A and B are shown apart, each in its own frame.
Chain A
């Protein structure tokens, strides 16, 4: 299932992909650049979610909670206190990790698992959505806005600048997340996670402190996801609880790793490319065809998802890897 190590031509492929992504902004127009940013964003969040589900087997359907907490923490510090995003990041990550720890503690201590755990995560995200709707300090349902001006200079310290700066930042995050996941998967903890994922009872019988390692999985995943939230806040400059915490956001985040291949390192990246590419291609196609009806694009999108789920239930990457001769059984 999972690759303990990456074969040599896999590394070559990875290097080629990275090189292509580094030079890509010089060959694409502004529109494609925003699409690439979106792809990297979903690759990154997918990687973070994958730690919890793909590695440790804990299905979270409420990851928008951590994006939202990260975004709101950093944005609030910026708007109300003038702290920059990197300081905000230092606050946002612990906030999300603490929230993940609370959910994890409650669920794992009280034996809430499987479907019940998944729905508990939805419940917390929904709780936050409605809660933030009523917090006047963060703008309530009216939204929280970051000051926007025309920036000619890229100010990396304050994350104010042109899309290309956000592109390279997200590329760096995605690359770092890939390396971290690669390291984690082969670490002692990674093997414990996989043992828990395959058979929790057996893992416990072997002496693995399953509670502890499941907690680590949730907290690392939550913290990483909050980083994406900070990016989200400074990239889009506006936050609405109805959008940030909504269940459809949570689903959006987990489509890429599931379609790409759960528990694999390349799955979230491949899934993000396929799904975002598909979605944008459809927008273009419908635009060219002159079909401008709300819902048309999503119907096609849903049908494509359905086809992938029916044809490749384990995701695209495991199938693709076999084709490339990268898979080790």
Chain B
């Protein structure tokens, strides 16, 4: 019997981990290309979550349907942030970039607080209590949908970077900044697109996550940290690494919550981060940083 519990919790952690992975993928894409650590990442995700809640409460629109338009809104937000604020900071020292994004994050958290108040909000979908049974494993339907959607979005993103011209141009910027300038790429524009794409990932992840957890404005910083833990575990700048890291952290949190106490679960995520930084600083799938 206990094995069933572990399997159930494990599968549920894995599916949640996929959504975490998608969120972290956004951070990883941004860092991999723009070389700026987005300290407002979790805050951007809470914005997406509130958008999903507004759409659901006002128009009864399912978050899984709203995922695409919300990703679009976040894309625009990301593009404007990079083009208007962050581009001049690309060459500046890390602490300067950090200050800029912290200021943005403070504004985001508190605007949400002003607009929506401090109470937790959630979405009650008709399928909230549905579940699928695979033999003895029973999984929440919402988690299955969210996990599958995360895989689809991630696959689309991989294809975009692999096959499209813009995706190739963005990779060129990441590989060789000077070279990209020399061949005439509009690097500032491509950086803004990249930040937009990263923001779109986190937007899609937020729309899914709203099905799994309640949202409050202070959730932002926590998820910024979680995204850091995941991308560093998987490898900053590595796209598959972000997904692998997300699944690993999702599983760890789920099992730690079961074996110890739920309130201590993120301690294990941080313990994994410390171990990874010490023994494989480039992350599980990352390339050695220069």
Contact = CB atoms under 8 A, between A and B. Distances in A.
Interface of A: 53, 59, 61, 106-107, 110-112, 114-116, 118-120, 122-124, 126-127, 130-131, 133-134, 141, 247-248, 251, 255, 258-259, 262, 293-296, 298-299, 301-303, 305-306, 309-310, 313
Contact of A124 (B96, B98, B274): B274
Nearest to A133: B263
13 contacts: A110-B277, A116-B277, A123-B270, A123-B277, A134-B264, A255-B102, A293-B114, A295-B110, A302-B107, A303-B103, A306-B104, A309-B100, A309-B103
B181 interface: no
B109 interface: yes
Contact of B37 (A115, A298, A299): A115
Contacts of B217: 295
Interface stretch (B8-16, B63-71, B201-209, B224-232): B224-232
Contacts of A119: 228, 232, 273, 277
Contacts of B94: 59, 114-115, 118
Contacts of B96: 258, 309, 313
Of listed A115, A131, A255, A306, residue having the most chain B CB within 10 A: A115
B278 interface: yes
Nearest to B278: A110
B271 interface: yes
B115 to A, nearest CB: 9
Contact of B110 (A255, A298, A306): A298
Contacts of B113: 294-295, 298
Contacts of B110: 295-296, 298-299, 302
B238 to A, nearest CB: 14
Contact of A296 (B102, B114, B225): B114
B95 interface: yes
A271 to B, nearest CB: 11
Contacts of A313: 89, 92, 96
Given A120-B277, A306-B103, A306-B104, A134 B111 contact: no
A123 B95 contact: no
Nearest to A103: B274
B281 interface: yes
Contact of A258 (B99, B105, B107, B236): B99
A134 B278 CA distance: 25
Nearest to A114: B94
A299 B107 contact: yes
Given A115-B37, A123-B229, A302-B110, A248 B221 contact: yes
Given A115-B94, A262-B95, A306 B107 contact: yes
A184 B284 CA distance: 40
A135 to B, nearest CB: 11
A111 B281 contact: yes
B85 interface: yes
B37 A127 contact: no
B118 interface: yes
Given A298-B110, A302-B106, 8 more contacts: A110-B279, A112-B278, A115-B37, A116-B236, A134-B264, A255-B99, A294-B117, A309-B96
Contacts of A106: 274, 278
Contacts of B112: 295
B95 A53 contact: yes
Interface in B76-96: 85, 89, 92, 94-96
Interface in B145-179: none
A294 B221 contact: no
A294 B114 contact: yes
B267 interface: yes
B26 to A, nearest CB: 16
B266 A130 contact: yes
Contacts of A259: 99
A247 B236 CA distance: 21
A126 B270 contact: yes
Given A112-B278, A302-B106, A306-B103, A122 B225 contact: yes
Contacts of A134: 261, 263-264
Contacts of B37: 115
B267 A247 contact: no
Contacts of A247: 221, 225
A295 B221 CA distance: 15
A221 B109 CA distance: 30
Nearest to A122: B225
Nearest to A126: B270
A123 B274 CA distance: 7
B222 to A, nearest CB: 9
A235 B221 CA distance: 28
Of listed B37, B96, B100, B277, residue having the most chain A CB within 10 A: B277
Interface string B258-290: 000101101100110110011101000000010
A308 B196 CA distance: 25
Of listed B112, B225, B236, B267, residue having the most chain A CB within 10 A: B267
The 7 A-B pairs at the shortest CB distance, nearest first, are namely A295-B113, A302-B106, A302-B107, A295-B110, A305-B103, A298-B110, A306-B103
B270 A130 contact: yes
